[in-house]
Amino acid sequence: MTNANTTSQSARLTVTNLSTSFPTEDGLIRSVADVSFAIQPGKTTALVGESGSGKSVTSLTLMRLLPKTANAQVSGSACFVTREGKTLDLLQIGEPAMRSLRGNQLSMIFQEPMTSLNPVFTIGEQIAESVRLHKGLDRKAALAHALRMLELVEIPAAAQRIHEYPHQLSGGMRQRVMIALAMACDPTLLIADEPTTALDVTIQAQILELMRRLQAETGMSILFITHNLGVVAHHADDVVVLYSGRVVEQAPVRPLFAQPEHPYTQGLLACLPGKARVPGQPKPKRLFAIRGQVSSPLAPPPGCAFEPRCDQALASCKDAMPPLIDIRQDRQARCVRVQPDAQLARVA
């Protein structure tokens, strides 16, 4: 994991101080504020947080796919290293350069597949069109490639299914088609925004396993967006926990699960069925739930955003937003109880 304030030379993507705000009639909504993280080649970084924490806005900002009508104010940088070794700031390059990256080296699986599959084209035509555009294949070769992709994502009877329309497929099959589409041009970075949330648990496990296999085969990096920490344990290398648009903790997956530092991360882990525990506290009899709700993005509290819901809050937490502190070289947390670089010692 890259320290928030340094740029890793080897990372596939290095996001630094990314902020996205939306001007509205009621005021400025700061959906993403000063977010920094990195994704290493061939690895998965998970972006975790509850609904409204800024996960989709982060991914859409990186892909430059925020609706034009939203007049988003974006700042920061997102340095992407291409397959050819060139470093491009995704927030600065021109639209033609971005278009040639998108769906090609840089790909995305959306939260809701029906919003990105076109209902009037067959799934084969949609995959073939992307391959023709980015790889310059002729129609026949592009359709053959589309068929290989559908087979790769284990669509049964792919040779027949290739002629079907999105509405003819089940939710799980549509999500597989989305993955085939996203993978068709051999991306070096895949952004997967809650790729399995709408699916039942068995299909979810199959899709996640499929993504893991494709990653092992192709060496692509993945930004994996989810609200489910249980999934993260099995599928991520590094974890970034977002709360109200800010990073509250980031760490490699094992130490994060072994010793979550931020009370919000501790709460998220305690919410996991079968794992309900907060360090230093007895295992609760009932499934834990973090009390209260996320504050309105229009009226954030002046201090720590999590303070109104935090069982460990101190009086000073109301005063100012704590900075993101380096706990160790590869770990950070935004909490006054966390001591900088002090072997995880806590303020009494």
Ligand X SMILES: Nc1ncnc2c1ncn2[C@@H]1O[C@H](COP(=O)(O)OP(=O)(O)OP(=O)(O)O)[C@@H](O)[C@H]1O
| Binding at 35: pick from ligand X, Mg ion, none (beta carbon under 5-8 Å per type) | none
- Which contiguous run of DSSP H or E holds residue 159? helix 158-161
Looking at 12-20, 49-57, 167-175, 272-280, which segment touches Mg ion (CB under 5 A)? Answer: 49-57
Helices 171-183 and 123-135 meet at what angle, rounded to 10?
10
Q: Between 122 and 204, name the residue whose CB sits nearer to ligand X.
A: 204
Residue 56 touching Mg ion (CB under 5 A): yes
- In whole angstroms, give the CA distance from residue 45 to residue 293: 26
**DSSP alpha helix (H) spans, 31-109:** 55-63, 95-101
Q: Is-contact 182 190, C-beta < 8 A?
A: yes
| Binding at 204: pick from Mg ion, ligand X, none (beta carbon under 5-8 Å per type) | none
Match 């555009």 to its residue by tokens. 133
For residue 39, the minimal CB distance to ligand X (Å) is: 18
Among 132, 227, 275, 277, which residue sits at the site for ligand X (rule: CB under 6 A)? Answer: 227
Which of 67, 64, 65, 118 is CA-nearest to residue 88? 64
| Binding at 255: pick from Mg ion, ligand X, none (beta carbon under 5-8 Å per type) | none
- In whole angstroms, give the CA distance from residue 189 to residue 321: 32
Per-residue binder mask for ligand X (CB under 6 A), 95-134, x = binder = ----------------x-----------------------
| Binding at 303: pick from Mg ion, ligand X, none (beta carbon under 5-8 Å per type) | none
| Binding at 300: pick from ligand X, Mg ion, none (beta carbon under 5-8 Å per type) | none
For residue 147, the minimal CB distance to ligand X (Å) is: 33
Measure Cα distances from 13 to 19, 39, 190, 287, 299 in Å.
16, 5, 11, 37, 32
Half-sphere exposure of 327 (CA within 13 A, CB side): 25
Residue 45 touching Mg ion (CB under 5 A): no
Q: Is-contact 45 235, C-beta < 8 A?
A: no
For residue 59, the minimal CB distance to Mg ion (Å) is: 8
Binding residues among 16-75 for ligand X as defined by CB under 6 A:
22, 24, 29, 31, 49, 51-57, 67, 70
| Binding at 121: pick from ligand X, Mg ion, none (beta carbon under 5-8 Å per type) | none
Residue 195 touching ligand X (CB under 6 A): no
Which of 255, 260, 188 is CA-nearest to residue 222? 188
Three-class SS of residue 20? strand
3-state percent helix, strand, coil for the chain, nearest multiple of 5:
35, 25, 45
Q: Between 46 and 184, name the residue whose CB sits nearer to Mg ion.
A: 46
For residue 167, the minimal CB distance to Mg ion (Å) is: 23
Looking at 17-25, 54-62, 101-109, 216-224, which segment touches Mg ion (CB under 5 A)? Answer: 54-62
- Binding residues (CB under 6 A) for ligand X: these are 22, 24, 29, 31, 49, 51-57, 67, 70, 111, 227, 297
List of residues contacting Mg ion (CB under 5 A): 55-56
